[in-house]
Amino acid sequence: MGVMLAAECPPKCKCDQFKVNCRDRNLKAFPNSLPLNTRYLDISGNSITEINSLELSLLSDLVHLDCSNNKISEISKLHFLSIIKLVYLDLSYNNLRRITRTTFEPLANLVVLRLNNNTELNEIEEGAFATNLGLREINLSNNGFLSLNTSSLRRLQGLKFIYVAGNPWECQCTIVQLSEWMFNHNSSFPDGANTFCTLPNSMVGTHVSKALIKIFTICHTPLDYFDYIFFVAVGFAIFLSGIIMASIAGIIMVCFERQRKFIEIEDEIEIQYQSQKSLARFTTIKT
C-alpha cells in the first residue's frame, strides 16, 4: 500500500502531494496509475470520452473532480460508488444527454455540481438529487432544457444558487413550476435576469420569472359561451341516449314476456284439447 500511495504521476500529468493536474494535456483516455491518496483531480480540457470507473473507485479520499471540457457522453452511479467524500464535481462542456434518478446517488457530500454547457442535456429524472442533501450550488445553464421538473431541487434545503440561463425554455404549462420558483426566490437565481423564453413565438424574449401570469392564462383558459353550450349539448345527448337505450330494453323485455305467455297459453290449450279428446275416446269405448 505504501508503494501504491506513492505511485508515480500519470504520463503528461503534474502531481503535487494530494493534487493531480492533467489539465489541457491532450489526453484521449482517463489517466491511469493515479496515486491513491489523490484528493484533487483535474482532467479538464482533454478529449476523454468516458470516465474509468475502476480507476476512479480507488480514489476514496477524492474531494474535488474536474472533468470539464471533454467528450464524456454518459455517467452513472457506478462511476462514483467509492468517492463518497466528493464535494466538488464539474462535468460542464461535455456531451451529456440525460441525468437519471441514480446518477449522483452515492455522492451524499456533494456541495457544488456543474452541468452547464452540455448542449444535448435536456432531461433530469424526478428524484435525481434525492441523496445530495448537502448540495449548495448547481449550474444547469446553456443546456438543452425546454422545461424542468423542480420537485427534487426544491427539497434541497441547503441549495443557495441555481443557474438556468441559456436554455431554450418553452414557456407553456410545463414550465409553471420553474417560473413560479424563480419569481418567489429571485435571489437563488443569479442569472435570472438573463433567463428568457424562446418558445412559443408569443413569449419570445419574456423573462421566465415574469412569464407566470401569461403561462397561467394559457394553461387556464376561461370557458366562453360556446363551451357551455357544447357541454350542455353533450350532457343532453348522453341523457337522451340513456332514455332511448332504456326504452329499447324495456320494449324487448315486454316482447319476450308476451311471447312467453303466448307459448304458455298455447301449451295449456293443447293440454286441455288432448284431455278432452282422450275423455271422448274413453266414453266411446265404454259405450
- pLDDT one-digit tens code per residue, 224-281: 555 556 656 767 678 777 788 777 877 787 777 777 766 766 666 666 666 666 666 6
Q: What is the pLDDT of residue 4?
A: 42
Angle between helices 212-219 and 176-184 (to 10 degrees): 150
Last residue of a domain, one of 163, 179, 200: 163
**Final residue before a domain boundary, out of 163, 192, 211:** 163
Task: Evaluate whether 4 touches 28 at the Cβ level (below 8 Å).
Answer: no
Q: Are residues 234 and 151 in the same domain?
A: no
Q: What is the CA radius of gyration of the chain?
A: 38
Rounded to whole angstroms, the Cα distance separating 117 from 91 reads: 9
In terms of domains, do 264 and 125 share one? no
Stretch 203-210: mean pLDDT = 89
Task: Evaluate whether 95 touches 73 at the Cβ level (below 8 Å).
Answer: yes
User: In the numeric block, which cell numbers belong to residue 131?
Assistant: 441523496
Q: What is the DSSP letter of 170?
A: E
Residue in 169, 128, 131, 132 with CA at minimum distance from that of residue 151? 128
Does 261 or 58 have the greater pLDDT score? 58
C-alpha cell at 181: 420558483
Residues 172 and 148: their CA atoms lie apart, in Å, by 12
- Per the structure, the complete domain to which residue 277 belongs is given by 226-287
pLDDT at 8: 78
Q: Would 177 be classed as within a structural domain?
A: no
Q: Report pLDDT for 2.
A: 39
Q: Are residues 9 and 120 in the same domain?
A: yes
Residue 201 domain flag:
no
Q: Are residues 132 and 261 in the same domain?
A: no
Q: Strand, helix or coil at 169? A: strand
Q: Do 118 and 141 touch, CB atoms closer than 8 A?
A: no
Mean pLDDT on 158-186: 91
| Domain total of the chain | 2
Q: Are residues 12 and 86 in the same domain?
A: yes
Using pLDDT thresholds of 50, 70 and 90, give the confidence band for residue 287: low
**Cα separations (Å) of 91 from 42, 110, 126, 210, 286?**
11, 13, 20, 30, 118
| Distance (Å, whole) CA 176 – CA 209 | 10
Can you give the length of the chain in residues? 287
List all residues 6 or more positions away from 95 whose beta carbon is below 8 Å from its beta carbon.
Answer: 71, 72, 73, 118, 120
| Domain final residue pick, 163, 178, 211 | 163
Judgement on whether residues 155 and 65 belong to the same structural domain of the protein: yes
Residue 261's pLDDT is: 67
Q: pLDDT at residue 11 above 70?
A: yes
Find, among 33, 91, 87, the residue nearest to 58 by Cα. 33
The answer to whether residue 110 scores a pLDDT higher than 60 is yes
CA angle 102, 40, 137 (to 5 degrees): 50
Is it the case that residue 198 has pLDDT exceeding 60? yes
pLDDT value of residue 38: 95
Give a yes or no: residue 181 inside a domain: no
Which amino acid would we find at residue 22? C
Assess whether 135 and 62 both reside in one domain: yes
Question: How many angstroms separate the CA atoms of 207 and 179, rounded?
Answer: 9
* Average pLDDT of span 176-193: 90
Please report the pLDDT score of residue 131 as a whole number: 92
